Chains A and B, each alone.
Chain A
């Protein structure tokens, strides 16, 4: 049973436009959520996180939105750049610094 799901395996966006990556979770105990970005042949790198006490966290071009009632979070990238092309993983944890449960990932392709 997948506790964290990313239903879109891939997403293609034009450079300069907004990329929206979605993630759903089922475990009510999760209260800390993260997004990781992964390039081929490299390990995932941390991108942005959000605690359940917030509904939005922004860092430059990246914004994460959390809807606790819907058990849904999303990552917005504006404007999208070709260098953003990578696999994005959503992850959740019962508290910060603890074990992470990852979604299956979404491959983002930003076309020039």
Chain B
């Protein structure tokens, strides 16, 4: 099993540009989570999908952030427009029902 796959691993963009982060969960997992890690706030949950349906997006910072899960094997997190304060490492994780979450390697986003 390849584990959770995230792309790109690194993204550098300019303020105001649209950024799309991608995640492929572990095959068979039915829950998908997006997290953001920053020095100031640590590791915080942004949004949680179950069976491709968003269950809780209360962690999404503002309307500039959106996430989709069109099918069981793919999810995106989009930031439009991006701002320097969005610079962070974004992790995707997946799980099967009540099992532990498996994290991807993360995408390091830098917004200049």
Contact = CB atoms under 8 A, between A and B. Distances in A.
A104 to B, nearest CB: 4
Given A99-B33, A99-B56, A104 B104 contact: no
Interface in B66-112: 91, 93, 95-106
Contacts of B91: 43-44
Interface residues of B, number: 24
Nearest to A97: B98
Contacts of B95: 97
Interface string B9-36: 0000000000000000000000101010
A95 B33 contact: no
Interface residues of A, number: 20
B99 A97 contact: yes
Which of B4, B56, B98, B101 gathers the greatest number of chain A CB atoms within 10 Å? B101
Given A97-B31, A99-B33, A43 B105 contact: yes
A1 to B, nearest CB: 12
Interface in A42-70: 42-46, 49
B42 A103 contact: yes
Nearest to B6: A43
Given A42-B105, A46-B102, A96-B99, 7 more contacts: A41-B105, A41-B106, A46-B101, A89-B43, A97-B97, A99-B45, A102-B43
